Homo-oligomer: A and B are copies of this chain.
Amino acid sequence: MRILSNELSKHIGQEATVSGWLHKKREMGNLTFLVIRDRQGLIQIVDDMSEESSKLKGLQSGTIISVTGMVKEEPRASNGAEIHDPKVTIEVPITEVPPIEVDKNISHNPDNYDTLFGYRYLTLRNLKERAIFRVQDGVSRGAREFFHKNDFTEFRSPKLLAGATEGGSEVFTLDYFGQTASLAQSAQFYKQMMVGVFERVFEIGATYRAEPSFTTRHMTEFTTIDMELGFVNSVQDVWDITNNLLNSISDYIWTHYEGDLNLLGAIKPLLPSKYPQITVDNLHALYFEKTKKDLRGEKDPSPEEERWICEYSNKNWGSDAVFVTEFPSSEKAFYHMVNPDKPEVTYRADLLFRGVEIATVPLREHRYDILLEQIKAKGLDPESEGFKYYVAAFKYGMPMHGGFGMGFERLVQKFIGLASVKEATLFPRDVNRLAP
């Protein structure tokens, strides 16, 4: 019966069997140290002059082995125990020297991306690389737990759409039995329609953007956490649930994935129960006051101001997340709702987290006539193929609602503190990269 590395210390003084990949082998005088990697971590095996470790002669890292031996306490070993007097069984011998040393740190310098991503099947065998994607799984688990606790239904929107979708030029198109189809750039229309059914919905799904950019930020395929909340009383309800979601995910991963986060050197973010809010105008004013750089009158916060206000908030407000509010109506999308008490601004906040915007969180326009007007005011046709189903849902009754689409890999990146979103993506896709 195989035990795992994290169970080793429960078996001190007993015989136990472990299995995994040969991670490392070294000899010191009369001792041979083997390190085995399994899905939970590493196990040290000490072979003291026996013939057993000689079975590994000529075999390389990656060899699959099973070892039965005596578990001894060893405070210096990663699990507080190691295995002595081993009997070694070679399950799958590997003679080829791998091109990556998986027990050594792998550079995340963009110059090394071809190695990091091109050899993913090996680089992920490094414990730190693997930890990123364990945390990623934790982020989706934490998000789903929160959503389900709050009565949200997960749905699956189609990614194959008719024609080239509305509003964006960077669309992948494909031949669909003689028609043109495109890959979805957003689940927004579908999730809004689903508010008319389930009231509260979410999806963690793929998003496509034919982004011809070479930066480390842009990917052509990524994952979005899409949320939409109906029957709200005000936009504050939508902000509150967004705030609570982020806090719940953070607590979830720092509870269940603390070892991985520590291995990655991640620092738990400061996330109070109510994030600070600042209007666009007040942000410009504060930035001017503190830095003497004048962006007053600009419609959006600049990327530099977003970084700055997050640092300021961390130091002065005890929060790594900030809601920037009161965006000008002149900049609104057709689906944003204007604040009737202050028609120059919309009911929208941008959620900043650790220096970047991670979500735009608006109240949607849910009133059919006004929505139609706002679509037409953008020069778009509500009766076109791209719009007609969407607007029909409103024609037959939609409650006040709001939501967001949040980049999933971006969120993982920011929780861990990685330099690029690609490092938080298992198999990143960009203008140059379609494999493996």
| Cβ contact within 8 Å between B397 and A94 | yes
Q: Which residues of B contact A155 (CB under 8 A)?
A: 133, 137, 426
Q: Which residues of B contact A385 (CB under 8 A)?
A: 435
Known: A92-B399, A179-B434. A393 touches B121 (CB 8 A): yes
Known: A366-B92, A389-B435. A199 touches B39 (CB 8 A): yes
Chain B residue nearest in CB terms to A130: B197
Report Cα–Cα, A431/B181, bound state, in Å: 11
Q: Is A288 an interface residue (CB 8 A)?
A: no
Within 8 A of B (CB), among A86-135: 91-92, 94, 96, 98, 119-122, 124-125, 130, 133-134
Which of the candidate stretches A69-77, A140-148, A308-316 sits at the interface with the other chain?
Answer: A140-148
Where chain A touches its partner, the secondary structure class is: mixed
| Cβ contact within 8 Å between A64 and B21 | no
Report Cα–Cα, A416/B187, bound state, in Å: 27
Q: Which residues of B contact A124 (CB under 8 A)?
A: 194, 196-197
Report Cα–Cα, A199/B19, bound state, in Å: 11
| Cβ contact within 8 Å between B176 and A173 | no
Please list the residues of chain A having a beta carbon within 8 angstroms of any beta carbon in chain B: 2, 19-22, 38-39, 60-64, 91-92, 94, 96, 98, 119-122, 124-125, 130, 133-134, 136-137, 140-141, 144, 148, 151, 153-162, 172-177, 179, 181, 183, 190, 193-194, 196-200, 205-206, 208, 210, 212, 220-221, 223, 231, 366-367, 385, 389-390, 392-393, 395-400, 426-427, 429, 431, 434-436
Report Cα–Cα, A200/B134, bound state, in Å: 12
| Cβ contact within 8 Å between B121 and A193 | yes
| Cβ contact within 8 Å between B397 and A198 | no
Can you list 27 A-B contacts (CB < 8 A)? Answer: A19-B231, A20-B231, A21-B196, A38-B231, A39-B151, A63-B397, A92-B400, A94-B397, A96-B395, A121-B396, A122-B396, A130-B197, A130-B198, A133-B198, A136-B156, A140-B154, A144-B144, A156-B206, A157-B427, A160-B429, A160-B434, A162-B434, A162-B435, A174-B183, A176-B434, A177-B210, A190-B427
